Structure 1
Amino acid sequence: MKGTIQTRPGSPLPLGAQQTPQGINFALFSRHAETVSLVIALPDSAAGQMLFPLDPAVHKTGDVWHILLVNAPPTLRYGYRISGPDQHGHAYDATRILLDPYARALDGGAWGERRPALGTAPCCRIDHESYDWEGDRPLGTPIQDTIIYELHVRGFTRHPSSGLSCPGTFRGLSEKIGYLQDLGITAVELLPVAEFDENETLFTHPTSHAPLRNYWGYNPLLFGAPKAAYASAPASVLNEFRDMVKALHRAGIELFLDVVCNHTAEGGAGGQSTSFRGIDNRIYYLLDPWDGSHLNFSGCGNTCNCNHPVTRHLIVDMLRWWVVEMHVDGFRFDLASILNRGPEGAILADPPVVELLAEDPVLAQTKIIAEPWDAAGLYQVGSFSSSRRWAEWNGRFRDDVRAFMCGRPGTVPALATRIAGSSDLYRKHGRGPCNSINFITSHDGFTLHDLVSFEAKHNEANGEGNRDGDNNNISWNSGAEGASTEAGVLAMRERRIRSFAVILLLSNGVPMLVAGDELGRSQGGNNNAWNQDNETSWLDWRLVQKNSALLRFFRLLIALRKRHPVFRRTGFYPEAAAGSGSPEIGWFGQHGRPADWGGNDQALGVLLKGAATPGQAEDDFFIMLNGSANAPALFSVPPPPTRSGRHWRRIIDTAAIPPLDINLAAEGSMVSSGRHLSVPAMACVVLQTATLQGFRTRRRP
């Protein structure tokens, strides 16, 4: 077969493998390599591997090695053997067959199958199949209207209760889109789907001694190849991913990817070369200038040299491919503060890669979200970038809301700032509330159920002696640690979950939920379930029926947010509404007094004046929050700030028994202005203005 394949010099651009009318063009960057050989394997495995040495006089332009294969089938697999200097900072090993950083797919089988070919055989595949997008276009959901739902592709449908024929796959996710539509979220954010090796971890279960897996996938082999094991048919992973995106878009749901471009799976000194290290270690990674060892700001053994021109263009090219060829709508950047580090790890004032991502014309309509910290202690919430394009995971929102809902005194001022959109963090440089991604839980940490059920982590199953995971959970167990049958404890937990949800979804900024929080999913107190590929992490779909009242609460709360622009402001609150002297937001303490900004009061009332638009009168809202774990809070209900003939109606009471915990305004009980309203411990009550027309009387218990 090799005799029928002819070679040509090829082209240095584009990097990667590209099918052209003339043949398949291969182009690879390596500045310091001395020899480069393309290795291919044809579909007929009996043919073995074929080696094509690249002559630098013919097959090299600048630092790019390239070759064109004529008459080669597009179904081939390929990789590279590279040799280079054995000097300070280099890591060449010509015995390894390396992955192309620009590869779009890898060979792979079902989840959990070993991949012995990594490093020993060509594994890269070419994106050669045509695909009919049927007119699919980006949805362009305005950022202020976005509600993010973070989920794990495998964990979302892997549980037997999902009832799917292809659980744990992109296709399985597609089959659950109806559930997502009913919930009301507008964007799904997937934990890493770029290729990783789930079998790489050396940890075992402490009692069964069964090997554990890298379930989360935050250790990429490549940046731009979707994981074959997440497809029901691994060989068709590219088109199955596209099918999922197209189905989500038809349902009005955007797709965001959690991308990890701060480090790779090659690890530190003891890791194996699979790609970047063996191609050009000194270019792709941050190295200690004295001994050439990998600098480790990621906590995973190495740190990508993101601001080197070669690496940053790889990152941008990867994102462009996800957007152009896979129709992805947005990205969340893991440990994004690493993008702000220079060649020796110093923090840069104007990091080129951060600016490039914000200003790239292809990504101009794509949502970009930073996790604004890294594993070495760099914490940049509110200061990750001055660009309005960059949104940030607001860790301050998470911590301040948790502190208030744990009953800690002195937390009212911080809570008010978070509810109003975190102007202390995002007013600078013309940024606004929508630069804040508000969240209370994420994949990393307690679930919402566990946040109200545990004070200490319980990570023994991870095989690290409960040493892993964060000790600062800012949680309260509601009166008993872990599982409980005590009615009072269970009622307090349910109340607090609902109160957390109200704060999250009625605050200005972009809310993010974690899959299963709306169903009361628990991880048994595990706050770092990265290697738990089992029922600890999988979503149990039986909870849809078991906790249907909680699911109803979330659905109606999301719908409330979507109906009223007052919760989705793009600008911060001014001191007073223009020309009226009436504030758009008012703050109250107990008994009608002003909010207690300097004391230890644990109650906060928030009066939101609805903005009147032509032909429509927006409703007002009065939100009463009690962060005390023991005592009720007594609020004096103020008059509605706008329009006569409107009255307060109670639409949310997180201490009430479902279905009275949340209702439409037309079903809510009337509450008179001036009335003193008692809000139970850890509860939230929300009033909404409405007319008497269509009012349906409902007796409260």
Structure 2
Amino acid sequence: MSVLPSSIWLPAVSSHSESTRRRCRTHLNDISSCSLTRQQRLGVDAIVKFGVFRKQTTYQCCLAMPVEEGPTSSSSQDSLLYSRAYWVTKSIVAWNVEAADGSCYLYASKTAALYVANNGIEGHDLKIKLEEDSAGLPENVKEKFPHIRDYRAYKVPLALDVKSLLKCQLAVAIFSSDRNCINATGMQLPGVVDELFSYNGPLGAVFSNGVVSLYLWAPTAQVVRAYIYRDPSGSDPLEILELEELNGVWNANGPRNWEGCYYVYEVTVYHPSTLQIQKCVANDPYSRGLSANGMRTLLVNLDSDALKPEGWDNLADEKPELFSFSDISIYELHIRDFRYRAISSCSFKIARKILPTLEFSLFLLASDSTVHPDFRGGYLAFTSQDSAGILHLKRLSSAGISHLHLLPTFQFAGVDDEKDKWKSVDTQMLESLPSDSIEQQAHITSIQNEDGYNWGYNPVLWGVPKGSYASNPNGPCRTIEFRKMVQSLNRIGLRVVLDVVYNHLHGSGPLDENSVLDKIVPGYYLRRNTDGCIEHSTCVNNTASEHFMVERLILDDLLCWAVHYKVDGFRFDLMGHIMKHTMMKAKSVLHGLSKDKSGVDGSSIYIYGEGWDFGEVAKNGRGVNASQFNLYGTGIGSFNDRIRDALLGGSPFGHPLQQGFVTGLSLQPNGHDHGTKADAEHTLAVLKDHIQYCSEEDDQIR
């Protein structure tokens, strides 16, 4: 396989919302420069590090230059580092630029040779004049891109071969009446890509009639090759295939004996973060199996009987009864900690009226010698019916808990899938240290990036179970064992909820080993600001469900988990960063599943999430988003921060000692300045109103 060229990366800083600190993860930004000179001219020389929980997080984020301070010809090539113009339809380019009486031109280079000279952009294969449309942007464009509704509109000639141009490096430049270049920039393409290449056909690996077919949506790619391997790592490829393209979808066919083999794609594509044509090696976005650490995609047929536990096809008939969504009570648990460590077990019975409005992070931590050591902290730990952990879950089920919410179980970064590479600390040594010692934390910190612990909010591939929870991260074990886990939990009276993190991805750029989507269609899957830099308000690499194929990937992924793994609900992390229409489609496609056609009763699948409204999506900044208020009346659940803060006190932005209704504000003040006695009584009255309102409104925010 070819080796990707090295690149000089552009470190930069960005401010981050206080509320994102709890999920900050290691990140390598995709905004890179091609020379140190550019880096120095941009004045970017800092890396911000956050100490967050047990993982140190390094941010290298794009330093956004305000639009009104855009580059001029004196900043030379630096202006092309940004993408401030939007190709929104095949006939319209939007740009927030002072046009005066000058003229605008579109430039394209298939070899990414564009550069800014004193007289404009050079190195182009094509130069086309664009005429300004005095009517401005049409209403459908303003609706799709509300954040650029006031931009100027430039008309693209109808005879232009737009599909071919989208495979090139693209830029626009504006000239004064005396032919001086006064501004130039790269382009953002999702609008025109959606118009020309939206696709509803097969994607991923398809098994039918003795043939394995590969389908990859990559409309901006110049060349796509598939490397087929017999083994999960090492070895030379069995075959190297060059895929054929039809309207943005690349395809190749192979024999049925490919099943059980592995593959990766090599995508030759222009990447705006490096201003180069890159050869990006990536997994299939529609991967359904992986090798350890996601190094290669496994060719696995999820319909194969060999991957189904006994009785799997009839599991829908064994599901615990659920008469109404208002009867749901949820217990939250992390697979890694289930029956793994010798810490006392904790349980909590959550009242039916309050549960949907609160987010609990309750971990079942127990030492259970009846569970095989290799199964502890993994999928198979849930199949030992007489273990202490399962007996505890059975008691919870009998007490009224209806659903078990599993923290992220998809393939995420931060934990090696191969357990023999994990490092650990001697717990007896830790227990021997004084309780007020700082040495415990120092020991843990020294191995924090090499141990087996991580919440899992570092998505790499959404549609494959995490390999570190399987007995073998290679081959189909993770599929079989995940199914056994769901089956076992259903049989003890618990439905299964997955924590899905569709709002961001861990990797980006052409070189990051955890980057997938941004290697295949650069600049499309990740939401960008008006400079063309990736938005990070979720914590890192925000995804853009307002784009057609991002939404489709989310919907297809949900269907995969519901149909092939028979899960019973989905908890959406930072759901407010997903568009409302995406959530409504998700509800529709899931509830449309039937036992007869899909082996699943979709009407009982519950979806809910964090409907917080902040960042670039706040106040419908990128379209109507799935925030609390926008979801009213949809039947989609949203966490309620009003009752949470009323009970516990404070807020994500408040002082940690600020008390609430059940944390002593009335009876046991802790010394924090809550104002006068009258102020505290008024606060209590307001908090009581919140609690009473939420208790009476049993439907919460729907």
TM-score by length of 2: 0.51
Alignment match, 2:403: 187
**Would the aligned equivalents of 1:107 and 1:124 in 2 still touch at CA under 8 Å?**
no
Any idea what the Cα deviations from partners look like across 1:351-388, whole Å, max 9, x if unmatched? 42122123322354321111112673959874141343
Alignment match, 1:359: 588
Alignment of 1:59-458 (within 5 A): 59-87=244-272, 93-94=278-279, 96-108=280-292, 115=293, 118=295, 125-127=300-302, 129-130=304-305, 131=308, 132-133=311-312, 135-137=314-316, 138-139=319-320, 141=322, 142-160=324-342, 161-163=367-369, 164-165=371-372, 166-175=375-384, 176-183=389-396, 184=399, 185-199=401-415, 207-208=442-443, 210-213=446-449, 215-234=454-473, 235=475, 236-267=477-508, 271-272=512-513, 274-290=515-531, 292-300=532-540, 302-340=541-579, 351-360=580-589, 361-362=592-593, 364-373=603-612, 376=615, 378=618, 382-402=628-648, 403-408=660-665, 409=680, 410-420=682-692, 422=694, 433-435=698-700
CA distance in 2, matches of 1:36, 1:325: 29
Identity of aligned pairs, percent?
25
Change (3 A) 1:103 1:397: same
CA distance in 2, matches of 1:411, 1:311: 43
Alignment match, 1:582: none
Shift of 1:19: 1.9
CA distance in 1, matches of 2:462, 2:527: 18
**Would the aligned equivalents of 1:99 and 1:274 in 2 still touch at CA under 8 Å?**
no
Shift of 1:270: 8.6
**Would the aligned equivalents of 1:195 and 1:221 in 2 still touch at CA under 8 Å?**
yes
Change (3 A) 1:151 1:106: same
Any idea what the Cα deviations from partners look like across 1:554-601, whole Å, max 9, x if unmatched? xxxxxxxxxxxxxxxxxxxxxxxxxxxxxxxxxxxxxxxxxxxxxxxx
CA distance in 2, matches of 1:237, 1:289: 41
- Which segment is superposed worse, 270-279 or 330-339? 270-279
Change (3 A) 1:199 1:168: closer
Alignment of 1:565-580 (within 5 A): none
Where do 5+ consecutive residues of structure 2 fail to align? 1-198, 343-366, 417-421, 426-439, 594-601, 620-625, 649-659, 666-679
Any idea what the Cα deviations from partners look like across 1:222-251, whole Å, max 9, x if unmatched? 111011211234341111111111111112
Specify the SS of the correspondent of 2:521. helix
State the AA in 1 paired with 2:615.
A
State the AA in 2 paired with 1:281.
P
Change (3 A) 1:177 1:414: farther
**Would the aligned equivalents of 2:281 and 2:519 in 1 still touch at CA under 8 Å?**
no
Change (3 A) 1:421 1:24: farther
**Would the aligned equivalents of 1:417 and 1:423 in 2 still touch at CA under 8 Å?**
no
CA distance in 1, matches of 2:605, 2:559: 10
Any idea what the Cα deviations from partners look like across 1:17-67, whole Å, max 9, x if unmatched? 122223111111112011111111114978621443335xxx323221112
**Would the aligned equivalents of 2:508 and 2:515 in 1 still touch at CA under 8 Å?**
no
Alignment of 1:524-563 (within 5 A): none
Specify the SS of the correspondent of 1:162. coil
Shift of 1:293: 2.0
**Would the aligned equivalents of 2:526 and 2:534 in 1 still touch at CA under 8 Å?**
yes
Specify the SS of the correspondent of 1:359. helix
Specify the SS of the correspondent of 1:189. strand
Change (3 A) 1:24 1:37: same
CA distance in 1, matches of 2:688, 2:232: 65
Shift of 1:411: 4.2
TM-score by length of 1: 0.52
Any idea what the Cα deviations from partners look like across 1:414-454, whole Å, max 9, x if unmatched? 44444445289xxxxxxx523459xxxxxxxxxxxxxxxxx
Specify the SS of the correspondent of 1:258. strand
Alignment match, 2:8: none
CA distance in 2, matches of 1:406, 1:122: 49
Any idea what the Cα deviations from partners look like across 1:512-551, whole Å, max 9, x if unmatched? xxxxxxxxxxxxxxxxxxxxxxxxxxxxxxxxxxxxxxxx
**Would the aligned equivalents of 1:284 and 1:304 in 2 still touch at CA under 8 Å?**
yes
Shift of 1:12: 8.5
Specify the SS of the correspondent of 1:72. helix
Asked if residue 41 in structure 1 is aligned to residue 229 in structure 2, the reply is yes
Change (3 A) 1:381 1:83: closer
Shift of 1:188: 0.3
CA distance in 2, matches of 1:162, 1:375: 43
State the AA in 1 paired with 2:497.
F
CA distance in 1, matches of 2:409, 2:472: 15
CA distance in 2, matches of 1:334, 1:189: 12
Change (3 A) 1:93 1:421: farther
Specify the SS of the correspondent of 1:255. strand
Alignment match, 1:21: 209
CA distance in 2, matches of 1:404, 1:47: 62
State the AA in 2 paired with 1:102.
Y
CA distance in 2, matches of 1:70, 1:22: 7
Specify the SS of the correspondent of 1:249. helix
**Would the aligned equivalents of 1:91 and 1:281 in 2 still touch at CA under 8 Å?**
no
**Would the aligned equivalents of 1:151 and 1:189 in 2 still touch at CA under 8 Å?**
yes
Change (3 A) 1:315 1:187: same
Any idea what the Cα deviations from partners look like across 1:118-137, whole Å, max 9, x if unmatched? 3xx55665536421415111
**Would the aligned equivalents of 1:31 and 1:64 in 2 still touch at CA under 8 Å?**
yes
Change (3 A) 1:81 1:297: same
Where do 5+ consecutive residues of structure 1 fail to align? 1-10, 109-114, 341-350, 425-431, 438-701
Shift of 1:272: 4.3
CA distance in 2, matches of 1:239, 1:42: 21
CA distance in 2, matches of 1:198, 1:46: 22
**Would the aligned equivalents of 1:18 and 1:25 in 2 still touch at CA under 8 Å?**
yes
Shift of 1:167: 0.6
CA distance in 2, matches of 1:61, 1:269: 24
Alignment of 1:44-59 (within 5 A): 48-55=236-243, 59=244
What count of residue pairs does the alignment treat as equivalent?
Answer: 394
Change (3 A) 1:28 1:269: closer
**Would the aligned equivalents of 1:155 and 1:168 in 2 still touch at CA under 8 Å?**
yes
